[in-house]
Amino acid sequence: MISNTPSSLYQKIRQHLPLLLSIFAIVVFVTAGDHAFAQGVTDATADAGSDIFDSIKILLGVILNIIYIIIWPILVLAGTAMDNTLIYG
């Protein structure tokens, strides 16, 4: 029998914490749009920092689109391969 004591759940969460945090950071980074908070004087250092983040954001978008292009045909192929004997036995 599998025990779901608080200590075992804590160990499972702690074991997968770096993966969860990295996924969370990627999701926040990709979904964070260009928000305008206030208009003011901008300097060159602020623009240089945002250019780096914009390029990383574009790169992650391209990578995710490539994964999207690869995954959907595989899912369609798997869906067409299923028949009632696979689903209902």
User: With contact defined as beta carbons under 8 Å apart, do 64 and 30 qualify?
Assistant: yes
- What pLDDT sits at residue 66? 92
User: Which among 69, 32, 73 is positioned nearest to 53, based on CA atoms?
Assistant: 32
Cα(89)–Cα(85) distance, integer angstroms: 5
What are the angstrom distances between the C-alpha of 83 and each of 41, 73, 75? 63, 18, 14
Distance CA 65, CA 89 (A): 36
First-last CA distance in the chain = 28
Q: Is the pLDDT of residue 2 over 60?
A: no
Q: Parse the chain into domains and list their residue ranges.
A: 1-32, 44-89
| Per-residue pLDDT, 18 | 85
Average pLDDT in the 4-19 region? 76
| pLDDT tens digits, one per residue of 32-67 | 666 555 555 555 555 556 788 888 889 998 999 999
pLDDT given at position 43: 56
Q: Which residues contact 53 (CB under 8 A, 6 or more apart)?
A: 29
Mean pLDDT of the chain: 75
> Residue 17 above 60 pLDDT?
yes
Which pTM value belongs to this model? 0.40
